[in-house]
Structure 1
Amino acid sequence: MLQGKQLILATKPFAKEIRSLSWFHTLSTFFLLVLSFVAVLIFKPLILKLIFSILTGLIIVRMFVIVHDYFHKTILKGSLLAEVIFTFWGLYILVPKSIWSRSHDYHHVNNSKLYTSSIGSFPIVTKEKFLKSSKTERLYYLFIRHPLTIALGYFSAFMYGMCIQSLLTSPKKHWDSAVSLMLHFGIGFLIYYNFGWINFMFAFLLPALISSALGAYLFYAQHNFPDATFKEKEGWTYVSAALNSSSYMKMNPIMHWFTANIGYHHIHHLNHNIPFYRLPEVFENFPELQNPGVTSLSIKDIIACLKLKVWDSEKQKMVGLK
């Protein structure tokens, strides 16, 4: 069985994009997104608007994961057209490149380290530290990890966390956060002005709420699941963090498509240079990667993940507070 650096090196042949496939997935997803968006606008029955609104939200998630791969320089590196498409899309969905790259790159090299893993992810503290914290600190910590905060990720994770907070903290460094907010709400206003409030709700707001809620939960459950492990800086290794602190999220083929295979998150953390469309291929080829910590989008597993609040150093696992 391959371990450590040997395992990473063994995946290297898969860490090469197939350029034509990268373009196919990008352009076909964008095409389907436009079709779904137009369908929301042209169909009159509210039930059809609702169906295509939900579909639009799910395709936005897929497009976001593809953007995520591009920001990793995994696909379409050096393409000016790709830079224009993905930068624009990132700005529209409230994921400006500067803050995303800084926080997400940090997350990848500090995944599952106690006390530093909260940058680019949800905060995690030990049970001991939580109990010693002030009431205000505990309330703030629980608020960030609250199911409603995650469900309202459009406001909490993306609008505030990605854009407003970064802009307030470092406006010169993250000026594109202001551009993102203006572009996002500018497009929303144009939809409202030209097509009315019903189409604003179904073509703009509901897809944003759906995609952000699913995106925020994926962020959460990728590293907050019952079998996840966390380490102090001592004893932490990159490979162990990938395989033991990053989940494999079981989904049906349709949801794997909508989430662009981000459910194979342990493999993504092992080698982020593997394009999203090759992650299942890696999973099938390496027995070492077929027994990760598992979760899913079932109600049971979602509840199990959301109940986790702190790291219990004695039990060496995530636990709730009761």
Structure 2
Amino acid sequence: MLQGKDLILATKPYACEERAKSWLYLLTTLCLLLLALASTLLLPLPFRIAGSILSGLLIVRMFVIYHDHQHHAILHNSKIADVIMTLFGIYVLAPTSIWKRSHDYHHKHNSKLFSASIGSYPIATRQRFEQMTPGEKRGYLFTRHPATIAAGYLFMFLIGMCWQSFASSPRKHLDSLLAIILHISGSIAVCYFLGWQSWLFFILIPFTIACSIGAYLFYAQHNFPGVVFNDNDNWCYDKAALLSSSHMLMHPLMAWFTANIGHHHIHHLNARIPFYRLPEVMQAFPELQQATTTSLRLRDIRACFRLKVWDPERNRMIGMREICSIRTEAQQAFRAPAAIHG
């Protein structure tokens, strides 16, 4: 059984794209997305609804392809691909300047406690959570709330990805401001010239679907029952990939729309493996078939959302009910000696 660097090195032969296949998947996905978006404006109502939903799902697939390009897993050093991906990043409210910086940081610090929550959902230990002010607790829980993640279009992408990056460093993230301006002005233009229904089907529904799926995938891939977190001294890259990144089981159709991102533990082990080779790597290494799994079933989604903080004493994530139970037990234990003494 390969471990550590030996396992990473064993996956290296798979970190090689087939350039023709990369172009094929990029262009077919892009064409399908453009056709689906066009249907939201040109066809009768039932087809507009279907086209709107399909557009949202195709944006997810295109985003994972964009994400692979940012990792230099596909179409590296292609100027044409660079232009396409730069434009798509602005369109999808994840411009290259902030997406690459934050996502690279996430890969280098995945599952580290006490590091900046750049490019990932914040994780607090139970002790740290108990020390927070009421306002800090509300902010922390709001970020991880199901409604916040479902509204990823607003909170994760428009505000988190674009506005906060520009506000923190305007010179570095002018493309974030450009993305906001183009998105809002485009929405106004569609409403004014084509009507509110066109805006609903062409922009609101596709982005709501795509951003909520994207936000949840990013959350659940690192916040699932069985996930492991470590302090910085005990952190190890390969263990973080295999123990702190899930294998999300999906229906083949959903796996296609998400471009195999469910094999997230493999992606974190070697981010240079193209998305279309991840299932191949999974089959080749028994070591990778032992990763903790989750899925898009309702019970698994609920199980992921229940997790709130990391408890080092129990070595697992726990929810609010357990936090309250532990707090009550501690208070009772504290009062017992005082009662005996009294």
Q: Same fold (TM over 0.5)?
A: yes
Q: Distance in 1 between matches of 2:304 and 2:136?
A: 22
Tell which deviates more after alignment, 117-126 or 282-291: 117-126
Alignment correspondent of 1:221: 220
TM-superposed CA distance for 1:133, in Å, is 1.0
Spell out the pairing of 1:145-156 with structure 2 (5 A cutoff): 145-156=144-155
Larger Rg: 2
1:181-260 equivalences in 2 (<5 Å): 181-260=180-259
| C-alpha distance in 1 between matches for 2:70 and 2:78 | 12
Q: Hey, what does 1:132 align to over in structure 2?
A: 131
What SS is found at the alignment partner of 2:84? helix
Count of residue pairs brought into register by the alignment: 321
Residue in structure 1 matched with residue 283 of structure 2 by the alignment? 284
Q: Distance in 2 between the 1:176 and 1:69 partners?
A: 20
The structural deviation recorded for 1:117 is: 5.9
CA distance in 1, matches of 2:161, 2:89: 11
Matched, 1:28 2:23: no
Q: Measure, in 1, the Cα distance between the counterparts of 2:103 and 2:16.
A: 21
The residue identity in structure 2 corresponding to 1:280 is P
Q: What residue number does 2:328 align with?
A: none
Between Structure 1 and Structure 2, the one with more helix by share is 2
Q: CA-to-partner distance for each residue in 1:46-97, whole Å, 9 max, x for gaps?
A: x322211111000000000100011111110111110110000000110011
**Equivalent residue letter for 2:19:** R
Distance 2:116 2:227 in 1: 13
Equivalent residue runs for 1:251-270 within 5 Å? 251-270=250-269
CA contact (8 A) 1:36 1:56 kept: yes
The one-letter code matched in structure 1 to 2:227 is A
Aligned runs of 1:1-322 on 2, under 5 Å? 1-45=1-45, 47-116=46-115, 118-322=117-321
Unpaired runs of 5+ in structure 1? Answer: none
Distance 1:9 1:74 in 2: 16
d(CA) in 1 for partners of 2:227, 2:48: 39
In structure 1, distance between residues paired with 2:262 and 2:193 = 38
User: Which structure 2 segments of 5+ residues have no match?
Assistant: 322-342
**Secondary structure, aligned partner of 1:295:** strand
- Give the distance between the partners of 1:254 and 1:170, measured in 2 at CA: 40
TM-score of the superposition, structure 2-length normalised? 0.92
Q: Do the aligned residues in 2 keep the contact of 1:111 with 1:117 (CA within 8 Å)?
A: no
AA aligned opposite 2:281: V
Q: Secondary structure at the match of 1:137?
A: helix
* Structure-2 separation of matches of 1:188 and 1:32: 22
Identity among equivalent pairs (%): 54
Partner AA of 1:64 in structure 2: F
TM-score of the two chains, using structure 1 as the length reference: 0.98
The 4+ residue runs of structure 1 with deviation greater than 3 A are none
Q: CA RMSD in A?
A: 0.9
